[in-house]
């Protein structure tokens, strides 16, 4: 089919989220950037060069490549992502920070392979489910291979360990499995396996168990493991209805840990208030709804599953981050798409959005 114009509504939402995210990161990163590097602009410059520049190039490329191309490279992309996830455990290239081993470093280049794994997994599952659409309820032909591939990806991420990314990939894969027409008993089996694995993962490490205790009891260890949660809620509460004003956050001055990554939504709520926080949530909802609207009009099943997977990944990750900050779920260490500091995350999100835009060019009118 001939490509038409892209969906300008979705494109506009992506641009607003990107520019709004850069504005909030510029505000939130001032104190942290100065205390770490002696420059108030160091972190936002890193985001512009490592995230926006690379991500924009990826976006321009993927929005031009016909979406059918990704079906051809689905399996090689999955193998590459598995290999890179394994490389983080090598002493030559992998390095750790904060007790986690999630990054590859080659001289000055730093990359987080789990971000690529999210997109590679979505592309592979879209190709797999569209190929076996008539056998989706057959356990050995479809369900068992799906579980095997998922276990391989999730197992390597669990070893890093990165429970937040693990949960996002599992939830996204589950959505795609359900949309592809999975039987309820297979969906229930998947949920049961993930629930058991989740609680086993928590109970095998004291710090993860303590995070869960903080979620259950806000007064548990307020100056230790519960400090970040309490400070995040203080920031959210301080914003009130309209906020303290852009740039006026007090918590970003080294009171709130991870104020430029995991907890940046708290700074947004503090500076822009309830109105600004709801506006950001509404943007993510609109992004998801428009992406699903495009998926519903996709020309074939591969495009449909691919669009649903990418949209679900970004929306799920956004709401996991926001829910953790406001105390609806335990803290997970997940970044807020388009907003949090992190070049790998932003670059891969923009590349995924480029694929969405390309699918929109072929959507049925």
141: Cα separation from own chain's centroid: 30
Q: Is the pLDDT of residue 58 over 90?
A: yes
Q: Is the pLDDT of residue 269 over 80?
A: yes
* Predicted structure pTM score: 0.92
Q: Which of 88-97, 219-228, 254-263, 301-310 has the highest mean pLDDT?
A: 301-310
The closest alpha carbon to 215, from 330, 333, 334, 321, belongs to: 330
Lowest mean pLDDT among 37-46, 287-296, 352-361: 37-46
Q: Chain-wide mean pLDDT for the chain?
A: 87
Question: What residues are paired with 109 via a beta bridge?
Answer: 106
DSSP conformational letter for 243? -
Q: Is the pLDDT of residue 124 over 90?
A: yes
| Inter-residue contact 19 to 339 (CB < 8 Å) | no
Chain segment 172-204, per-residue pLDDT in tens? 998 998 898 878 887 888 888 777 877 777 777
| Long-range contacts, stretch 74-78, CB < 8 angstroms, 24+ apart | 74/123, 74/124, 74/126, 74/127, 74/128, 75/124, 75/127, 77/119, 77/120, 77/123, 77/124, 78/120, 78/121, 78/123, 78/124, 78/149
Percent of the chain exceeding pLDDT 90 equals 45
SS3 105: strand
Q: Is the pLDDT of residue 259 over 70?
A: yes
Q: What pLDDT score was predicted for residue 108?
A: 66
Q: What pLDDT score was predicted for residue 2?
A: 60
What distance in Å separates the CA atoms of residue 365 and residue 362, rounded to the nearest whole number? 9
What distance in Å separates the CA atoms of residue 130 and residue 105, rounded to the nearest whole number? 36
The closest alpha carbon to 338, from 284, 275, 288, belongs to: 284
Chain segment 204-249, per-residue pLDDT in tens? 766 667 777 777 766 666 677 778 888 888 899 999 999 999 888 8
């Amino acid at each position: 089919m001939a490509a038409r114009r892209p969906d300008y509504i979705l494109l506009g939402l992506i641009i607003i989220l990107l520019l709004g995210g850069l504005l909030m990161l510029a505000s939130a990163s001032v104190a942290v950037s100065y205390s770490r590097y002696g420059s108030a602009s160091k972190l936002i410059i890193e985001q512009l060069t490592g995230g926006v520049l690379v991500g924009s190039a990826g976006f321009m490329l993927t929005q031009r490549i016909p979406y059918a191309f990704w079906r051809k490279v689905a399996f090689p992309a999955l193998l590459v992502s598995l290999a890179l996830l394994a490389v983080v455990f090598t002493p030559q290239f992998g390095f750790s920070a904060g007790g986690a081993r999630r990054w590859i470093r080659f001289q000055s280049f730093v990359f987080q392979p789990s971000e690529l794994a999210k997109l590679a997994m979505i592309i592979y599952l879209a190709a797999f489910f569209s190929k076996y659409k008539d056998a989706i309820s057959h356990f050995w032909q479809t369900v068992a291979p799906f579980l095997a591939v998922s276990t391989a990806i999730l197992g390597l991420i669990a070893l890093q360990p990165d429970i937040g990314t693990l949960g996002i990939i599992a939830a996204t894969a589950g959505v795609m499995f359900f949309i592809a027409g999975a039987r309820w008993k297979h969906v229930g089996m998947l949920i049961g396996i993930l629930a058991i694995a989740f609680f086993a993962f928590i109970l095998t490490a004291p710090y993860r168990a303590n995070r869960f205790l903080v979620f259950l009891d806000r007064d548990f260890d307020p100056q230790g493991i519960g400090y970040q949660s309490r400070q995040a809620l203080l920031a959210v509460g301080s914003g009130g209805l309209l906020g303290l004003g852009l740039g006026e956050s007090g918590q970003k001055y080294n009171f709130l840990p991870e104020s430029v990554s995991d907890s940046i939504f708290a700074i947004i709520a503090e500076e822009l208030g309830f109105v600004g926080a709801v506006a950001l949530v509404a943007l993510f909802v609109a992004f998801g709804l428009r992406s699903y609207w495009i998926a519903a009009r996709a020309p074939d099943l591969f495009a449909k599953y691919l669009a649903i997977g990418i949209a679900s990944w970004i929306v799920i990750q956004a709401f996991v981050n926001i829910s953790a900050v406001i105390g609806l779920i335990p803290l997970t260490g997940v970044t807020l798409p388009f907003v949090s500091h992190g070049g790998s995350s932003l670059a891969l999100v923009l590349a995924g959005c480029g694929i969405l835009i390309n699918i929109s060019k072929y959507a049925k009118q």
